Each structure stands twice: as structure tokens, then as C-alpha cells.
Amino acid sequence: MAEVKRVYKFGAGQTEGKAGMRNELGGKGANLAEMSLLGMPVPPGFTITTTTCNEYYTLGRDRVLSLLEADVRSAIAFIEGEMGAKFGDRENPLLVSVRSGARASMPGMMDTILNLGLNDEAVLGLAKRTGNPRFAWDSYRRFVQMYGDVVLGMKPESKEDIDPFEEIIEERKRAKGITSDTEFTAEDLQELVVRFKKAVKDRTGRDFPTEAMEQLWGAVLAVFGSWMNDRAKLYRRLNKIPEEWGTAVNVQAMVFGNMGDTSATGVAFTRDAATGERLFNGEFLVNAQGEDVVAGIRTPQPITIEGSRRWAKLKGVDEATRKKVAPSLQEVMPKVFEELDAIEHRLENHYHDMQDIEFTVQDGRLWMLQTRSGKRTGKAMVKMAMDMLAEGLIDEKTAVERVEPEKLDELLHPVFEKAALSKAKTIALGLPASPGAASGRIVFFAEQAEEWAEKGEKVILVRLETSPEDLRGMHAAQGILTARGGMTSHAAVVARGMGKCCVSGAAGIEVDYSKRELKVSGGLYKEGDWISLDGSTGKVYEGQIATSDAEMDADFAHLMELADKYAKLEVHTNADTPRDSKVARRFGATGIGLCRTEHMFFEGDRIKAMREMILAHDLKGRQAALAKLLPMQREDFEGIFEAMAGLPVTVRLLDPPLHEFLPKVESQIQEVAANSGVTVEALKARIEGLSEVNPMLGFRGCRLGIVYPEITEMQTRAIIEAALKLKKKGIEAKPEIMIPLTGILKEFQNQRAVVLRTAEEVFREYKDRVNFKVGTMIEIPRATLIADQIAQEADFFSFGTNDLTQMTFGFSRDDIGKFLPYYLEQGILKVDPFRSIDPEGVLELMKTGVTKGRGAKKSLTIGICGEHGGDPTSVGYCHELGMDYVSCSPFRVPIARLAAAQAAIR
Ligand code: ADP
Ligand code: MG
Ligand code: MG
């Protein structure tokens, strides 16, 4: 049996992995190997595979440790050789970091441990060898803290609980009268270590492990264990990352950014992740280690002079102040910058994509610690793809694939109205961390953001800084405001990933969690007060500000052009008004796939006529009421057909149960009774009579038209007359009349006959004709099974996947709130089938429907008009089924166009 390889080395001519091995090595491990292969300065190390993580869960801890033992020891020996130091040695100790790294990047999801290998003796050796005791004790202090948090479980459960380590640090600062960690002396740090270890002993009852190998195994197992922690699970769910993937573990020789003023650590992007501009940018901190930059503890400095100048301009500070407060790496360490810039260029050319890199400078020497394709906003995603296409870095298909359809959503969403904005009062200025405009009421805690959002409130989550525990709250909020942190802070990175508006590091705002207050110069805002954020400028405003539609730029238009070039599916829209139709056309819809006529009956006076129709006791009464509705419907259709001139418009005949149109509350019942000249009692009896036990499966859809053919007649007449009137004006209407809820062939035949008969009547009256089609929704499971019969008489099918899903699962869509969340949490269902087509059941029925339908009539037009029409995964399925079009809400049209292109390219 072939030996399973679980450990892959990287560094100095011995690299065993490469970028293509991401599945096994995780993103971080694969790219560390790749950078080593490219000859870039990467500290040597090794990666334990993702498969091993899965083995940890199937075989158990002991078995996995014994499987790893020999390979890990030999890999450690390799690092020792490279670094000329010995793991666990007291004179010349090799220190390593232990880093998790899944296939897909999961920022901040799993914790890294730095400086592993230190103990009370090794720290002295390190101090002596480097001649820098402060550095040695700082490293040790950090190690005990991180190891305590991640491996020994010292980290508090909730952010509002006290972190024992932070408390010790604060105590020491108070005792010394200092405000920053950087002012600690070696003796202070030594004292902290002693107290940290005591805290560990007190809390866990066990001594802090001193033996390097024991420390290492503890850390490796903790990384495996973290794959199943709540934060990681939530992130995976939000980002649709499968649990089976597992995480790799990277063990890597430490390099030190905390050795003094010639050392530093930083993160950078090869292009601007917010705007897409081709500008090398990022942040660094002198004499710092690890995640200090993103933790928002100290304010980081920009990488380039350009970045520093822009910062100064934003903050309104002069050149002298800029040089003092935020000098760039380019100025502070010009040689290092030059090398970094060259590497940055090479990486982009190598990966053909914008890279997000992490580096450390140890005593003037640059080390690369990570590279990955950077997260970006929707706007940046489109601009980068189109720029890189123009630069010849990628081809058209790659450019189309580069943009995540869902991300386009951000571009299509509103921005603040200029007029409203000019009157708004700016109360603070932060960094433009993630673009977009948001108004909401202030909340200070993530849980609260969730609670309020559930109640339908719009909220802005305001925090000193955010951490992964805040993820749910950030998701629920309209926008995020933080007092601390830079452009690469947790809040900024995560918000950009979510496409949420975020302003970070708003200096001058004071957040008081206990009083639930936000103080700015000259103002006090309490929980529940309205504020507004502009994530593109970093401005924070008082109150609520009106928004207006986003404008689509040339890059966007170019992308859409490319999408249409490759897509096979057409994208239609669901629209009930001329206004929506126009919006959808602007977004590129080539037809209306679903025009719901019932929505028209709710406006203004129409509901009165509608109620009159429903309450009528006989045919005569109904006809009289329908006669009032006819001209209104005709006018609606004229408007819509005109907006969609030359394009098909699928009109669905009346679908919902009639009682939905009747009044529900007492006051309304009285009013309706008075208006229609019946007693309240009589009306109530009528409402009672119409009410149903299970309306979704009740008197609705074509069943209405079969019992009351006069409704179908009126609607057909309105549609055909509208088309004829437009024809007179030289406008081509292409009506397609759609019978809802067909499940039995005779139902369809019955309604089709009414439509055809009525149309002929109208043609005779007008002495003119128009072309039109008659088809049906396929939304009852039975309809998919007899699709061949229906197809013989229907011109088109449109899959109504909302009802089809509802009836296939037997889930009432209005009641799933009670159990679907549990289903998703427990993995009984992987995705909400109302958001993305169920690939096993519902899709199978659709396949049957398409095959039988097309088998009976080759020319049958087939589309889909459920919510799923705007879901990229579902669009992919529709492409595979060979459908003609998908139909979705106007704002999702570009998303569907792009998804359709990607499905065709794959
Ligand atoms: P994340 O996945 O959260 O980004 P990383 O594993 O990249 O976590 O670690 C976070 C940071 O820790 C890195 O950006 C780097 O600054 C620091 N770090 C990790 N490994 C080393 C190392 N071997 N030497 C120096 N710093 C390191
Ligand atoms: Mg991290
Ligand atoms: Mg990292």
C-alpha cells in the first residue's frame, strides 16, 4: 500500500508542494510553497494536509498523532537545519508559528500561535543571542497569551466577559502609569509572563507546558479542533464552504518584526481592494508582530508615499504632520519597500490576480508570510477584471469568471441622494473601509443588531473594533462603524467580503458600551438614534439620509457585454409595473417572464371593484364589477407592453386565493360593508365562507378561472385590447398569456379555450389581430409528470419554482421559519431550497418536465420565474437543463446574466 503523505515541507530547494495543491495544503500552505518555488524569501516550514484534519475527526486524536509523529519530527529537523537553531533548545531555540489554512480563505476564523518553543530557559537563551531581552520577553509574553487563548481555552466566551490576560496587562499599565504596550520594559514583560502562567494554572489547574514538542502537538490539535468551532461553522455556512474540506496546519520558522525600529510587520494589496484602482497599498507597524496591524491596537502606517499622502488629504493634515504621524514604508525603509514592490509585481503576474500579502521585516530583512487572491468589493471586482483584461493579464472568459455574480448586488444598490447629502450634518470622519451607503439606528452589540434586525429595524453596528464573534451582528446590520482599526482591520476586511458598508477607525468618536452611548466632538448619540455611513468617503452623518439608484459605469457595461456574448440563457424579469419594466430593461432584461396581475388589484380604487367582484352573489354582479376593472387592467398592460416594446411579456392570470383581497381588521370590514351596502354581519359571513384551511392548496390559480370563467375573459380581453391599441400606435406587443397552477391536462384545456375564444371575440370587434401565445406555469409536481400531454397544447412552460418547491417538499413557505433554521443548523438540509433550487428532488422534477415537454413539442419555450431565477447556482442548473430563459427581479437581472455566462463557460 502506498504511504499516505501527510506532511509537505517548504523552503530552500526542498519544497514539496505548489499552488495547485490547494485542496490538500490549504490556500496558505499551497501559496507558501509556491512563493518558495519562486525563490521569494519565505521562512522554511511544513504543512500538514487537510486530509489529516479529516482523519482527526474520523480516526481520533491518538491515532492521528501516531500517524504524524515521524514525519513531523523529520520536518522539524529540516527547519532546524535551515535556521541553524534547535527546537526546544535553551541556548539557541528554534521558534515556530502554527497557522491554520483552509482551502478557501477564512479571515480571522482560526487563530495563529506565534513564538512556539519558548519556555523559562529558552527565553534567556533568546535574549542572550539577540542581545535584546525586551524582544525576547515580548515574544514569550505573546506566546503564553496566544497559546493560553487558543490551546488552553483561556479566551473568554463573550466579548463582554473579562479576558484574564488583558486584565493583567491593563493592571500593569495602570501600576506603571503608561498607556501603550510599547512602553513596557523587559522586566514588565517578564512579570506579565509570570502572572499569565499563574492565571493559566489557576484557571485550568495545569501548568503551562514547557516542552517544545508538547507545545507543538497541543497547537496542531487545537487547529484541527478549531475547524469545528462556532465561528468557523458560521463562516462556512455564510460562505457555503463544505465541512468536509478540513483545514491544513502550517508550522513555520518564526521571523521577528518586533526586534526594534528596523523591524516591522504589515499587510498589503497589489491593487485597491475597495475601488479596484491599480495602486499598491497597505499598512504596516514598526516593531510589531503578527496581527498587531489588523487588531487596531495602534494606528498603522501606509505602505506607499501615495497612500500616505491620500491619508493626509482625507484627514486634512499637512505634509510635516503626515511625515511625523504616518510616514510610509517607502520613506521609512526604502530598500525593503523596493524589494516588496518587486515581489508584489511578480506575484500579480504569476497569479494573474490581485494579491493580498502579509510580510514581516526582521532587522531590515524582508520575509514573505502569505499571499492569496485578495477579497474585494463588487466595484473593485468588476474594475480589476476589466483592467486586467485590458492589460492582457487575463482573457475574456477568465474576466467573466472572475466576478462573483452575487457581488454585483453592491453595485446595483442605492447611494445617498446628493441633495439629501448636502444638507446632512457630518459628525465624524473615518476610513472608507467598505463602500456603499447605509442609514440605521445605533446598536453597540452584535446580538442586539441581530435582535433588532429580526424585528425589521435597520441598524448600524457601532463598536470600538470588531472581532469574529461579531460576525452575525455585522451580517444583520446595514453598516458597521468602528472607532479603531485601519483599512485592513477585521471590520474592514469582513465588511468588504460581505459587501456591507463600513467606516473604520473613526478617530474622535468615543464608544461607551456600558452607557450605550456614542460621543463625537460636540454631540452625543444614544442607542436607537439614527446615523448614516458613507463607506466610500468614510463620512459619518447624523440622522437618516435618502438614497438614490446607483449608476452603472463603463466597466460594468463592458462586463455585461461580455456576459451576453457567452451566455446561452436569456434573462427576463419579474415586473408588474411600467416603472419596474423600465428598470429591468436598463439592467438588460430581454423580456418579462412574470407579470403578476394580482398586484395591480391592490392599488387605489381598484381594490374596491375587486372586492365588489368577490362579494357579488351572481354572474351579473361579478360581470359588473369586472367591467370596472377592465379599463384599469388594459391601461396597465398598455404601459408595460410599451415599456417592453418588441420583447415578450408573460402575463399570469389571477393566481391568489380570493380572500387575500378582503379586509381583515374590524375597521376595514366596517368601511367595506358601508361602501358595498351590506351589513357588517353579512360581510363577515362572506369572509368566513371564503376562508380556507389551507389556502396554498385551496381555491386559487386556474381553479378560479375554471369556476369563474368571466375573470379569465376579462383579463384576456384587457391583454389583447392593450396589444391592439399599441399596434395602432406602431408599437409591437408580444403578449404571452400564462395559466397558473395547472396540474391536470383538462384544466389547461379549459382555460386555454376561454382565452382563445375571448381573443377571437376581441379581434372581431377590433377588426384586427395580434400574435399571442398561451402557455402555463409548471409548478405542481403532477404537471412535471404529465408535461408531455400539456406540451401538446401549450406554447410555453414557465417553471414556478416557489410553488414547485413548496409542494415537492410539502413545506408551507409561510411557515418554514419554525423549522428551516434548525434543518440548516443540523445539516438536514444544506441550503434553503427556497433560495437555491433543491438539486436532488425539485431539479429532478424539472428535468422530467423539460424532457417530456420538449419530447412532445420541440419548439416549446421553457423558462423559470421563481425567486430562484436570480440565484446564480440555480441559473447554472437552468443552463444545464437547456432552458430558454430565467426570470428574476429587476435588480438581479445583471447577476443572472453573469451567472448565465459563467454556466456557459464552465
Ligand atoms: P490569518 O490566517 O488569520 O491571517 P496567519 O497564519 O496568517 O493568520 O497569521 C497571522 C499573522 O501572524 C501573519 O500575518 C504574520 O504577521 C504572523 N505570523 C505567522 N507566522 C509567522 C512567522 N513564522 N513569523 C512571523 N510572523 C508570523
Ligand atoms: Mg488570524
Ligand atoms: Mg494571514
Query: Pairing between strand 93-94 and 431-434?
Result: unpaired
Query: pLDDT tens digits for 610-661?
Result: 989 998 889 999 999 999 999 999 999 999 999 999 999 999 999 998 888 8
Q: Given the CA of residue 250, which atom of ligand 1 is nearest to it?
A: 6
Query: pLDDT tens digits for 188-203?
Result: 999 999 999 999 999 9
Query: pLDDT tens digits for 233-266?
Result: 888 887 888 889 999 999 999 999 998 899 999 9
Question: Across residues 326-340, what is the average pLDDT?
Answer: 97
Q: Is the per-residue pLDDT at 410 higher than 80?
A: no
Euclidean distance between CA atoms 20 and 278, whole angstroms: 26
Instruction: Count, in order, helices (H) and strands (E) of the chain.
Output: 37, 33
Of all ligands present, the nearest one to the C-alpha of 359 is: 1
pLDDT of residue 775: 98
Among the residue ranges 160-164, 232-236, 315-319, the one predicted with the least confidence is 160-164
Q: Is 865 annotated as catalytic?
A: yes
Which protein residue has the closest C-alpha to ligand 1 atom 20? 97
**Which segments within 616-716 are labelled E, that is strand?**
648-652
pLDDT of residue 547: 78
Q: Which of 871-875's residues contact partners 24+ apart within 8 Å by CB, and which partners?
A: 871/835, 871/836, 871/837, 872/405, 872/406, 872/896, 872/898, 872/899, 872/902, 873/836, 873/837, 873/899, 874/801, 874/836, 874/837, 875/405, 875/569, 875/899, 875/900, 875/903
Among the residue ranges 228-232, 290-294, 369-373, the one predicted with the least confidence is 290-294
Which protein residue has the closest C-alpha to ligand 1 atom 16? 290
- Residue 635 is given by DSSP the state H
Question: Across residues 442-462, what is the average pLDDT?
Answer: 94
**Which segments within 795-881 are labelled E, that is strand?**
796-799, 861-864
pLDDT of residue 22: 96
Query: Pairing between strand 96-102 and 247-253?
Result: antiparallel
Q: Is 490 annotated as catalytic?
A: yes
User: Pick from 527, 573, 582, 575: which is nearest to 549 by CA?
Assistant: 582
Q: Is the per-residue pLDDT at 160 higher than 80?
A: no
Query: pLDDT tens digits for 52-64?
Result: 999 999 999 999 9
Contact 603, 620 (CB under 8 A): no
Q: Is 484 annotated as a binding residue?
A: no
622: left (phi over 0), alpha (psi -120 to 50) or beta: alpha
Q: Given the CA of residue 100, which atom of ligand 1 is nearest to it?
A: 6
* Catalytic residue selected from 501, 865, 878, 888: 865
Contact 14, 78 (CB under 8 A): yes
pLDDT of residue 159: 65
Contact 460, 533 (CB under 8 A): yes
Instruction: Report the pocket of ligand 1 as residue ranges, CB < 6 Å.
Output: 43, 97, 99, 108, 112, 114, 252-255, 265, 290-291, 358, 360, 369-370
User: How far does the centroid of ligand 3 lie from the alpha carbon of residue 722, in Å?
Assistant: 62
| Superfamily of domain covering 567-597+647-654+717-905 | Phosphoenolpyruvate-binding domains (3.20.20.60)
User: How far does the centroid of ligand 2 lie from the alpha carbon of residue 290, in Å?
Assistant: 9
Question: Across residues 756-785, what is the average pLDDT?
Answer: 98
Residue 179: band (very low, low, confident or very high) from pLDDT cuts 50, 70, 90: confident
Residue 110: band (very low, low, confident or very high) from pLDDT cuts 50, 70, 90: low
CATH class of 131-209: mainly alpha
User: Pick from 495, 372, 497: which is nearest to 438 by CA?
Assistant: 495
Q: Is 802 annotated as a binding residue?
A: yes
Which protein residue has the closest C-alpha to ligand 1 atom 17? 290
Instruction: For CA atoms 221, 205, 166, 434, give the dihedral sign.
Output: positive
User: How far does the centroid of ligand 1 lie from the alpha carbon of residue 882, in Å?
Assistant: 47
Give the Cβ contact number of residue 192 at 10 Å: 24
Question: Across residues 433-450, what is the average pLDDT?
Answer: 91
Is residue 192 helix, strand or coil? helix
Is residue 713 helix, strand or coil? helix
Contact 440, 417 (CB under 8 A): no
**Residue carrying C-alpha cell 450605550:** 516
pLDDT of residue 98: 97
HSE at residue 45, side-chain half, CA atoms within 13 A, is: 30
* Catalytic residue selected from 53, 490, 879, 888: 490
pLDDT of residue 162: 79
- Residue 155 is given by DSSP the state S
Euclidean distance between CA atoms 64 and 221, whole angstroms: 10
Q: How far is CA 903 from CA 241, 564, 872, 873, in A?
A: 20, 12, 9, 9
pLDDT of residue 1: 46
User: Pick from 368, 348, 382: which is nearest to 270 by CA?
Assistant: 348
Query: Pairing between strand 796-799 and 773-778?
Result: parallel
Contact 268, 281 (CB under 8 A): yes
Which protein residue has the closest C-alpha to ligand 1 atom 26? 290
Residue 415 grid coordinates: 447611494
**Mean pLDDT taken over the chain:** 92
| Bigger pLDDT: 147 vs 159 | 147
Q: Is the per-residue pLDDT at 2 higher than 70?
A: no
Question: Across residues 672-697, what is the average pLDDT?
Answer: 88
Rg (CA), the chain: 32
In b/e form, how buried is each residue of 566-598, taking b as 16+ CB within 10 angstroms?
bbebbbbbbbbbbebbbbbbebbbbbbbbbbbe
pLDDT of residue 891: 79
Q: Is the per-residue pLDDT at 330 higher than 50?
A: yes
Euclidean distance between CA atoms 144 and 47, whole angstroms: 23
Q: Is 742 annotated as a binding residue?
A: no
Residue 269 bridge partners (DSSP): 281, 356
Residue 655 bridge partners (DSSP): none
User: How far does the centroid of ligand 1 lie from the alpha carbon of residue 740, in Å?
Assistant: 58
Residue 42 grid coordinates: 519565505
Element (H, E) at 100: strand 96-102
Domain covering 264-376, topology: D-amino Acid Aminotransferase; Chain A, domain 1 (3.30.470)
Q: Which of 87, 220, 291, 488 to mutate to test the pocket of ligand 1 (most atoms within 8 A of CB)?
A: 291
Give the Cβ contact number of residue 618 at 10 Å: 7
Residue 569 grid coordinates: 440563457
Residue 861: band (very low, low, confident or very high) from pLDDT cuts 50, 70, 90: very high
pLDDT of residue 412: 79
Q: Is 596 annotated as a binding residue?
A: yes
Q: Is 779 annotated as a binding residue?
A: yes
Euclidean distance between CA atoms 846 and 868, whole angstroms: 13
User: How far does the centroid of ligand 2 lie from the alpha carbon of residue 137, in Å?
Assistant: 22
The pLDDT > 70 percentage for the chain reads 97
Please provide the DSSP assignment of 789-817 as one string.
Answer: HHHTT-SEEEE-HHHHHHHHHT--TTTGG
Alpha helices in 40-185 (DSSP H): 50-59, 61-83, 122-130, 133-150, 164-176
CATH number corresponding to 414-548 = 3.50.30.10
pTM of this structure: 0.81
Q: In what order do the strands lie in the sheet with 301-302?
A: 301-302, 281-286, 264-269, 355-362, 365-373
Residues whose CB falls within 8 Å of the CB of residue 57, separated by 6 or more in sequence, listed in order: 224, 228, 246
Euclidean distance between CA atoms 222 and 153, whole angstroms: 10
Question: Across residues 384-404, what is the average pLDDT?
Answer: 97
Q: Is 800 annotated as a binding residue?
A: yes
Euclidean distance between CA atoms 96 and 283, whole angstroms: 24
Residue 840 grid coordinates: 436532488
In angstroms, how far is CA 82 from the centroid of its own chain?
Answer: 42
Give the Cβ contact number of residue 809 at 10 Å: 16
Residues whose CB falls within 8 Å of the CB of residue 588, separated by 6 or more in sequence, listed in order: 560, 564, 571, 893, 894, 897
pLDDT of residue 236: 86
pLDDT of residue 856: 98
Which protein residue has the closest C-alpha to ligand 1 atom 27? 290
Domain residue ranges in the chain: 1-119+210-254, 131-209, 264-376, 414-548, 567-597+647-654+717-905
pLDDT of residue 744: 98
User: Pick from 587, 299, 251: which is nearest to 431 by CA?
Assistant: 299
Euclidean distance between CA atoms 695 and 655, whole angstroms: 11
User: How far does the centroid of ligand 3 lie from the alpha carbon of residue 491, in Å?
Assistant: 15
Q: Is 803 annotated as a binding residue?
A: yes
| Superfamily of domain covering 1-119+210-254 | ATP-grasp fold, A domain (3.30.1490.20)
Which protein residue has the closest C-alpha to ligand 1 atom 8? 112
Question: Across residues 401-421, what is the average pLDDT?
Answer: 84
Is residue 443 helix, strand or coil? strand
In the structure, ligand 2 is a single-atom ion and the residues with CB under 5 Å from it are 108
Q: Is the per-residue pLDDT at 835 higher than 90?
A: no
Which protein residue has the closest C-alpha to ligand 1 atom 22? 254
Contact 560, 588 (CB under 8 A): yes
Query: pLDDT tens digits for 573-610?
Result: 999 888 889 989 999 999 999 998 887 887 667 888 89
Contact 705, 746 (CB under 8 A): no
Please provide the DSSP assignment of 14-73 as one string.
Answer: -----GGGHHHHHHHHHHHHHHHHTT-----EEEE-HHHHHHHHHH-HHHHHHHHHHHHH
Q: What angle do CA 39, 41, 42 make, to 5 degrees?
A: 100
Query: pLDDT tens digits for 709-733?
Result: 999 999 999 999 999 999 999 999 9
Residue 108: band (very low, low, confident or very high) from pLDDT cuts 50, 70, 90: low
User: How far does the centroid of ligand 3 lie from the alpha carbon of residue 743, in Å?
Assistant: 55
Q: Is the per-residue pLDDT at 832 higher than 90?
A: no
